[in-house]
Chain A
Amino acid sequence: MALRLEGATLGYRGRPVAHAVDLELPAGGFVGLIGPNASGKSTLLKAMSRVLRPRHGRVTLGGEDLWQLSPMTVARQVATVAQGLPPAFPLLAEELVLMGRLPHLRRFQGEGPRDLAVARRALSLTGTLSLAERSLAELSGGERQRLAIARALAQEPRYLLLDEPTAHLDINYKVELLDLLRRLNRADGVAVLVILHDLNLAALYCDELVLLRAGRVHARGTPEQVLLSSHLEEVYGSRTVISRHPIRGVPQVTLVSGRDEDPAPLQGDGRRVHVVGGGGSAAWLLEALTLAGFAVTAGVLNRGDSDWVLARSLGLEVVEAAPFSPVGDGERARALELMRAAHWVVLADLAVGRGNLPNLQAVRDAMQAGGLVVVVEATPWPQRDFTAGMAAPIYAAIREGAVTTVTDDRAVLRWLNEGARETGHQTAVQEVDQRAERTRGRGR
């Protein structure tokens, strides 16, 4: 049993909206429909609720063509909460909810005790029992939204379709509503198809996600399979970082903003930058440099370190060490390799102990081999030195030989930008390149 779109092409008055879409809501399934505005989500829902007839393809309910069944037969199994709110009419809340019984009643048949019981359950499930005798005209948007859902529940559907049911709700009601939907799904076996704008809520609640783009299915599968940075960039055109929900472990999407505080952001053109950080000291730089178009590498970082997590979710090449373990010789050598392959090495404002001292040594070695090092010194060095002075001479040497030392992360980008503006962007980069070549040549 399923409610299914089979190669459905949909549109309004010659304007095609969806093209040959296959979509299945299996009995007992919980499917989220996501995608940007105008990607055709609501249109698919209208086709599945027998409001919009497909131009090509079919809609089937339990294998039968939806348009061969009577509207009442469909409405006994499929209930829809459309986008928007019920009108602010002088209609009592209970009258609205009792309308959900319409497909179950014969013409001229009044509501019986069972109908009232079903309506009462729908009201109490949605927390609106106390509103039953209030007029819709005097209720808030959130209250009317919950009543629209109660009306759909009063239909006792096997398939429940919802078009952005959380749009008018505060976060507590959003979570409450989705919890309710999941409870109905798990306990009563109601299949749920829900359009959600909030990707994180979609990942938290849906078993399956269908990502739409311009009227076609762009990706489908579990939230893990669908919520990938690459998919979201292709569909929404936005840069995102995918992390894990701290409790549930499902993917969560964080939007990455553009860097509008930089009037002329430097285009990295894929030039390599190696960042040495740890403990969150490099978080901002890793993201900013990646966004500016540099090919960023990082390390050595301990697995589980917050900079490591970020670097991984940005998809960067990272030299990693075991958690809480000192950096070994092999890792130090790998890091040095990456530094020598990079145009610049950025030493973040990190704290140094015995464990990550080899990072500092690798930076020194890279510099002595001709590498261009930018040092960030936001915190005075002595406060970051946990090696009882062992690291101090190495750090001093790095500062001595660095191309510049700046006092905050933004200044790293600003420093690169200033150079770009003075001499013209391309020449600045070329100049640096040539310098890098020269010094490297000298080093060899």
Chain B
Amino acid sequence: MKRSRRPDDHLGRRARRGRLVLTVLAVGLGAACLLGLGYGAVRVPVGEVAWMLLSRLWVWGAPAEADWPASREAIVLVVRAPRVVLAALVGATLGMAGAAFQGLLGNPMADPYVIGVSSGAALGATLAMTVGGALALSLVPAAFVGALASVTAVYLLAREGGRVPQLNLLLAGIAMGSFLAAIVSGLILLAQRDVRPVIFWLMGGFSGRGWSHILIAAPYLATGSLAVLALSRELNALLLGEESARQLGVDTERAKLILILGATLGTAAAVAVSGIIGFVGLMVPHLTRLGVGSDHRILLPASALAGGILLVLADLVARTALPPVELPVGVVTSLLGGPFFLFLLRRARGGLS
């Protein structure tokens, strides 16, 4: 299609299109949540779900009479709503953290899972859950410390003459991930108490999560995400390299520090409440970038919305694919993400040989 070449409206069109994409994604997330609330072992029509929400959220009295059984409302609002909301929050945080790490490291392979942030968070959280009672560690700070330690180690191991080559980053991340996973396994084996909840948690998922989990994680998720979002234009400048970013007036050291802390904090909180859910931070920013380009002012919120959609739907699949068994969400995303990762790697390196 040929557009008019009027010079006046020609700049900034991509930004306008980005805002349109954001609107579409927001609507999409709403639709995904409605689906997530309605579908499951008991099917509730989406229209009814919408009415339930409206009647609960409508502050000036119910707009409609409740003509549905109370048990259905309990399933939707008490059982499903927290996990849908948590899935959306975690997905949003992981999507945005992935986009931030990719931009920050100038590396399309970066993702909280690949570069060792998630494994470190898992180790921290496992420590808190298994021996934490004695040490009085609370879950999210423990995960944060673990994640921060792990990403620092991976970054330092991968660095070569001031740069972080793609391959080094992947190798260091994978090695660190395996190493930490072994420690986690060891901890679980040695733990004195019942370890099944820890194992379920590790596989990644939202089953049995309630509003209390959201309350634990939400402040950290929000802080981390907002910190990253606030630095979106600095991330843009960093795409040009650190020197150019500084010449554009960016305090690059401070920006990098805030971005790493923010993305790591968000990831750690997500891991603390929902275990390891891999590849969301890898796939989501990639697909989003295809649609909205590399401007982080659009890319970051779009990745958040797309990440929310992906995890709400993945959770829906996890619950409904093989009844009565419920798959961990991490299994679903890894089934999608593994092949996607290989595809990226193949494209980036021109073959695996």
Contacts and interface: CB of A to CB of B under 8 A. Distances in A.
Interface of A: 46, 49-51, 70-76, 78-80, 82, 86-87, 89-92, 94-96, 98-100, 102-103, 105, 107-108, 110-111, 116, 119-120, 129, 132-133, 155
Given A80-B247, A98-B11, A102-B248, A87 B236 contact: no
Contacts of A89: 239, 294
Contacts of B237: 99, 102
Given A80-B247, A111-B15, A116-B11, 18 more contacts: A49-B246, A50-B247, A51-B243, A51-B247, A71-B246, A71-B249, A79-B247, A82-B243, A95-B14, A99-B248, A102-B237, A103-B249, A105-B233, A107-B230, A108-B230, A129-B7, A133-B10, A133-B14
Interface string B92-119: 0000000000000010000000000000
Interface string B11-27: 11111000000000000
Interface in B218-276: 230, 233, 236-237, 239-241, 243-244, 246-251
B294 A94 contact: no
A92 B14 contact: yes
Contact of B249 (A75, A98, A120): A75
A155 B15 CA distance: 19
Contacts of B11: 94, 98, 116, 119-120, 132
Nearest to B241: A87
Nearest to B240: A86
B295 interface: yes
Contacts of B240: 86-87, 96, 99
Interface of B: 7, 10-15, 106, 230, 233, 236-237, 239-241, 243-244, 246-251, 289, 293-295, 297
A72 B244 CA distance: 13
A400 B330 CA distance: 104
B248 A75 contact: yes
B246 A95 contact: no
Nearest to A86: B240
A136 B15 CA distance: 17
Contact of B246 (A50, A79, A87, A91): A50
Given A91-B294, A92-B293, A95-B293, A110 B247 contact: no
Contacts, number: 88
B6 to A, nearest CB: 12
A91 B244 CA distance: 15
A71 B250 contact: yes
A418 B166 CA distance: 62
Nearest to B229: A108
Contacts of B246: 49-51, 71
Contacts of B13: 133
A276 B10 CA distance: 69
B249 A74 contact: yes
A116 B12 contact: yes
A164 B24 CA distance: 45
Contacts of A98: 11-12
B22 to A, nearest CB: 13
Contacts of B10: 132-133
A94 B11 CA distance: 7
A197 B249 CA distance: 28
A90 B293 contact: yes
A85 B244 CA distance: 11
Contacts of B293: 90-92, 95
A49 B15 contact: no
A132 B236 CA distance: 17
A116 B10 CA distance: 9
A105 B12 CA distance: 15
Contacts of B7: 120, 129
A49 B14 contact: no
A110 B249 CA distance: 17
* Most interface-central of B7, B12, B237, B239 (chain A CB within 10 A): B12
B249 A90 contact: no
12 contacts: A46-B243, A51-B243, A71-B246, A73-B249, A78-B247, A89-B239, A89-B294, A91-B294, A92-B14, A95-B14, A107-B233, A119-B11
B293 to A, nearest CB: 6
A96 B13 CA distance: 14
A74 B10 CA distance: 30
Nearest to A103: B249
Contact of A95 (B106, B251, B294): B294
A103 B13 CA distance: 21
Contacts of A155: 248
A102 B295 CA distance: 12
